[in-house]
Amino acid sequence: MTHVLIVEARFYEDLADELVKGAMAALDAAGVTYDRIAVPGAFEIPAAIAYAAQGDKYAGYVALGCVIRGETTHYDYVCGESARGLQNLAIQQRLAIGYGILTCENGDQAWARASVTKKNKGKDAAEACLAMIGLKQRFGVS
């Protein structure tokens, strides 16, 4: 049976809960089992996945979080480095990762993307993870 790890950044707890709700529903619908772990923010997601990937427990990973632009360049660093870190893991370690880190200008944009009744990006990230697991299986990648 396929087993996935959901890594959720809890910096915006209400948005994290909504993203996880969408991801869990998609994984449940696919008959996939999963574990959840929380990290402080989006910047910590790649490291958590790298730690988890040291074992062979998970077929894939769903990265969920939200970064909302503030008054400083901190936003740019968190967005860029979390995306780069996840892409490096996907390519270098051949991990199946569904990217669900929202990068938004404001809270309204974040809610429009996180809400399970709107864009449901948690679901999209879980489905991307499952698609990448399928590709790995198709190409015989371990």
Q: How far apart are CA 39 and CA 74, in angstroms?
A: 18
Residue 129 assigned as binding residue: no
Residue 139 assigned as binding residue: no
Q: Would you name the residues annotated as active-site residues?
A: 74
Nearest to 102 by CA among 41, 49, 28: 41
Radius of gyration of the chain (CA): 14
Q: Where are the beta strands (DSSP E) in 1-142?
A: 3-9, 33-39, 60-68, 97-104
Residue 42 assigned as binding residue: yes
Residue 99 assigned as binding residue: yes
Residue 44 assigned as binding residue: yes
Nearest to 76 by CA among 30, 36, 52, 42: 42
Residue 94 assigned as binding residue: no
Distances from the Cα of 31 to the Cα of 28, 58, 66, 99, 102, angstroms? 5, 15, 26, 20, 25
Residue 72 assigned as binding residue: yes
Residue 113 assigned as binding residue: yes
Binding residues for (2S)-2-hydroxy-3-oxobutyl phosphate: 71-72, 113
Binding residues for 5-amino-6-(D-ribitylamino)uracil: 11, 42-44, 66-68, 99
